[in-house]
Amino acid sequence: MNRTRYPHARLLGVLVVLAVMAAPALAQRQAPADYGPRSINLEDLPYPHPVSYLEFALYGQDVRMAYMDVAPVGAANGQTVVLLHGGNFFAEYWKGTIEVLRNEGFRVIATDRIGWGRSSKPIVPYTLNDQAVHLKMLLDEKGIAEAAIVGHSMGGMVTSRFAFQYPEMTTHAVMVNQIGLTDARLQRRWRNPENPYQGNQTRTYESIRRGFERYFITWSDDYEYFIKLHWGWTQSGAYPQYAAMRSLTSGLLYADPVVYDWPHIKAKTLVIGGREDGPDYPALAKNVADTIPNGQLILIDNVGHLPHLEAPERFHTELVRFLKSDPIPYTEEQGQP
């Protein structure tokens, strides 16, 4: 187009660009009117089984860690499975997995780690080592000498650290769409911790909704309650404390990498996840399975970040098969890390 002959064309082009730039803002979805404030401690969310608490001191503060201890249905097989949730979740979302496992004879313990769910949310340093220690404290309290550890997303990082630190207590390790698959320190610099805090303070309904929608290949209204809860927390008077906790835990991905744990994990390990959890996930997950001496990989097609919700039958079939396989006996000659 000859812009000298058509001087209005430049103005028209600018207006089109501005309209395109403004479109996302115009498309912002708004929270439904009934999506009101919710408790950051989830007292208003029913859990599928009774919740108990382990009380202890953490950096001089009295805290308590919530957990469900669910007995098997029928004949017990003598094995205990621990379920560890992801960073945007809590023990309640394992309800379907709990039922499958208890009906297969497993005792199931599902925890809300310190900082999440019904557990305390202190403003303290958050480390994977501490979270592994808290799990050991719970197992010791229950007299459980060994267990299979199953962790999803950030819970997969805790699984890695627990299996590395406590090989004598880990019969099987399962990492479900684990995050922290690279050492982020090699890719970017440490950010001012105030940045993630401010980011959490300014979460919108649209950003929360998009964040959860990207977890799934096929959306279901069953997942809506995650959005309702997260949005409700932003409307709570206690949200600044929750935002501070989220910003502290986000540092785990950078400051506490688990990639160096994997070569030293002794337990039989299953790396399992939805294949469509990002374009790099299949290759990175394969690297995890290849790095762990007794690792194996299963990718579930047409599934995203939460296979236990999006493809429960396929996921649970593989999980039960693996958990029923014979563990690799731990010997003192293997040594402690």
Give yes or no for residue 17 having a pLDDT over 60.
Answer: no
CATH number where 262 lies: 3.40.50.1820
Residue 215 included in any domain = no
Q: Are 302 and 217 in contact, with CB atoms under 8 Å apart?
A: yes
Residue 204 included in any domain = no
Q: What is the pLDDT of residue 16?
A: 37
Q: Are 318 and 303 in contact, with CB atoms under 8 Å apart?
A: no
CA distances from 236 to 41, 106, 197, 232 (A): 11, 38, 16, 7
DSSP three-state, residue 39:
coil
| Number of structural domains the chain divides into | 1
Give yes or no for residue 141 having a pLDDT over 70.
Answer: yes
- Chain position carrying tokens 């267990």: 147
Name the residue range of residue 171's domain.
52-183+257-325
Half-sphere exposure (CA, 13 Å, Cβ side) for 218? 9
Q: Across residues 51-69, what is the average pLDDT?
A: 98
Residue 289 included in any domain = yes
Residue 161 included in any domain = yes
Residue 331 included in any domain = no
197 confidence band (pLDDT: 50, 70, 90): low
Contacts for 99 with CB less than 8 Å, ≥ 6 apart: 48
- Helix H or strand E segment including 273: strand 268-274
Contacts for 74 with CB less than 8 Å, ≥ 6 apart: 103, 105
Express the helix, strand and coil content of the chain in percent, nearest 5 each.
45, 15, 40
Q: Are 71 and 107 in contact, with CB atoms under 8 Å apart?
A: yes
Residues in the chain: 337
Residue 155 included in any domain = yes
By DSSP bridging, strand 61-70 and strand 52-58 are antiparallel
Residue 232 included in any domain = no
Q: What is the pLDDT of residue 333?
A: 60
Closest CA to 213 of 201, 227, 193: 227
In 153-223, which residue ranges form alpha helices assigned H by DSSP?
154-165, 194-201, 205-213
Q: What is the pLDDT of residue 22?
A: 44
DSSP three-state, residue 214:
coil
- Chain position carrying tokens 């958990």: 323
Share of the chain above pLDDT 90, in %: 79
Residue 99 included in any domain = yes
Tell me the one-letter amino acid at 15.
Answer: L
Q: Across residues 71-90, what is the average pLDDT?
A: 97
Q: If you count DSSP H runs as helices and E runs as strands, how many of each does the chain have, helices first?
A: 12, 8
Mean pLDDT score across all residues of the chain? 90
- Chain position carrying tokens 């090699």: 186
